[in-house]
Structure 1
Amino acid sequence: MELIQIVHGQIAYSLDLYKKLLSLEHGNVVVSPLSISAALAIIAGGARGETLNQMVSHLKFADSNLMHQYFMHIRNTVLKDSSSDGGPTSNFANCLLVDKDLPLNQRYRDLIREYYGAESSAVDFPSQAEWARSQVNMWVSQQTRGKIPELLPANLVNSATKMIIANAIYFKGQWEKKFDSWRTRDEPFFLLDGRTVSKPMMTSNDKHYIKNYGSFKVLRLPYRKGTRGDQAFSMNILLPNSRDGLLQLEKDIDATATAWFVEHLPELREPVPVSNFLLPRFSISTGFEVPVLLWSLGLQLPFDPDRSDLSGMLDELPGSFPPLFISNVVHKATVEVNEEGTVATAATATGVSFGSLALPQLEDFVADHPFLFLIREDHSGTIMFIGRVVDP
């Protein structure tokens, strides 16, 4: 499987998850498909039979080996911290808490350590459920620099829990060209319901990477690169020309849009003069339980206590142990955009229990109405975050 096919699959998964999320969330939205898929991939490392096949297919990989290699590449290259080289501060971390009576096998321990950098810790869930919950929340808070202080809500972890798998992503990047804060001014922002609100808008006279696709425009805002040169991060904003055009733009995101993202976003390499530029500062967060979305996307076996096969995690179980299954998946994501750059974070925890047009010479980009955005690593095409701003 070539890298371009993996990229196509990862983008398709991101868009599928985003579209399903819109059925639950109607306001501002941000989600990290990369965080959710990494947590699922760790579980898939211990799946067998049809459960494994369904998980690998759901995550849009050809086989499990490529899946694990991809996430090792994410950890070791794409999201390797480059702050010491002048680039973004980034982090991709995973951890496991396992019931002390659950015989996690060595092969699975080795797999999650090698590919995901994850170590497992033993917990007595029947007597330490609340302590385990607080430990995961503390770990997530540390990994996200306090941006996600509580991932697991009260009562989600209990005596029936046998394992918690958590993933955390942190990204802090400075714009290649920062905006002057003294030029930021309040301007009207037009909401989908027709109301108008006043919001701080950043502006700039610099050239920008903009391309017009007829019904919408795309802006690429690159982040400052490190001297290593093996990473190139950017925020891409898809702005409908119509003030109420976001809903139609989101409807148009389908299987054919996957190829569009691969083929057209890399074209934004030449900055163009801008006649008028406005972009709101914004700070949004989203938190939700994921199983209903994954179920609707066809991932069902690992959630079914009667059919789930996660036996690859374990040494042979005594007859008194029923099969393992995924009892819940919780995800939170945040993004803050201002004149300096962006801070974006995400965390996912799983509980395992038993049972184109020609570019004009002069463009404008006035983001005074709802738009879609994504944060990606350009060399690999990896989408780390995707979301919408309907009210900054």
Structure 2
Amino acid sequence: MAKATRNLITEVLNPEDNNRNTVHVVANAIYFKGEWRDPFDKEDTVDREFHRLDGSSVEVPFLQSWSYQYIDCHSGFKVLKLPYEMMNESNWDWMLYHSLPKFCMCVFLPDDRKGLQGMVEEIASSPKFFHDHLPLKCVPVGQFRLPKFKLSFETRIVAEDLKHLGLHLPFDEAEANMTDMLLEEDERRVFVSHVIHKAVIEMTEAGSEAAAVTVECDDMGCSLYDDSPPPPKPVDFVAEHPFTFFIVEETSGAVVFSGHVLDPSKEE
């Protein structure tokens, strides 16, 4: 697992998860490492206050930029899109470029320091809301600060969530039928006892690195040049309070990672 995720996730199972009744452990790992199309300069990184939801604050490193950025302002929140590098200039291929997946990180920042929950509810209000509010053009920035962070998340209640969605059979000790996972002569009854999910993401000046693992245990029993219109007004984007982020593949619209940043000084 460590090799598959470049040491972002070194272990998922606890000793008690793998016992004499365990027949199979099925693991699915996703690893993503992206470099920004326009990396941030480490010399510009500064320590500033980040305001937590409880009203306290903590000093953390912030990335800074004075370049044009993909930013859109909406009622109650702003959205930032940071594209990842697709190809190096040294091996640029225009035809290949159009066939490659295009990834970006999208940051949804509420205007209110305690507005994260309301904004997330708004995002979840409609399947089209997320994609309808992504920035389409670059704008000049005034103040631009985004905290560096490394977050990890683990949950062992995925099975309960799946049951709530209607998937009951694999977890039913009496009814589950997974004989295809066993040898023909093996007549033991197997069911899914645990589904464990762990994710880690780290964001730096160069880009972001993310990994996620889901394990099942089976037990017996920009455009800068335009001469015609006047330049747009600079936009501030200062993520100094809790926000939510998504890593998106733009061609398909698929969200491959998502999370909330509540305190960049903590990993969990």
TM range (shorter): 0.7 to 0.9
Find 2:132's aligned residue among 248, 263, 272.
Answer: 263
Find 1:286's aligned residue among 153, 164, 168.
Answer: 153
* 1:274 aligned onto 2:141: yes
* 1:387 aligned onto 2:259: yes
* 1:321 aligned onto 2:188: yes
Deviations 1:287-343 (A, max 9, x none): 12122332333322211112223345457566x522x21111111111111111111
Partner SS, residue 215 of structure 2:
strand
In the TM superposition, 1:62-81 aligns within 5 A as: none
Find 1:298's aligned residue among 166, 171, 184.
Answer: 166
- Distance of 2:175 and 2:121 partners within structure 1: 34
- Distance of 2:173 and 2:112 partners within structure 1: 47
Partner SS, residue 269 of structure 1:
coil
Unaligned runs of 5+ in 1: 1-139
- Distance of 2:169 and 2:118 partners within structure 1: 33
In the TM superposition, 1:141-290 aligns within 5 A as: 141-226=2-87, 227=92, 228-229=96-97, 230-254=100-124, 256=126, 258-265=127-134, 268-289=135-156, 290=158
Give the C-alpha shift of residue 262 in structure 1.
3.5
One-letter identity of the residue aligned with 1:389:
V
In the TM superposition, 1:308-347 aligns within 5 A as: 308-313=176-181, 320-322=187-189, 324-347=190-213
* 1:368 aligned onto 2:225: no
- Alignment coverage as a number of residue pairs: 244
- Distance of 2:121 and 2:129 partners within structure 1: 15
Partner SS, residue 155 of structure 1:
helix
- Distance of 1:253 and 1:311 partners within structure 2: 42
Partner SS, residue 334 of structure 1:
strand
Give the alignment's Cα RMSD to 1 decimal: 1.8
Unaligned runs of 5+ in 2: 222-231
Partner SS, residue 347 of structure 1:
strand
Partner SS, residue 163 of structure 2:
helix
- Distance of 1:234 and 1:307 partners within structure 2: 43
Normalised by the length of structure 2, the TM-score is 0.85
- Distance of 1:286 and 1:349 partners within structure 2: 14
- Distance of 2:166 and 2:80 partners within structure 1: 33
8 A Cα contact 2:79 2:133, kept in partner:
no
- Distance of 1:306 and 1:376 partners within structure 2: 40
Higher helix share: 1
* 1:348 aligned onto 2:209: no
Normalised by the length of structure 1, the TM-score is 0.59
One-letter identity of the residue aligned with 1:251:
E
- Distance of 2:86 and 2:19 partners within structure 1: 44
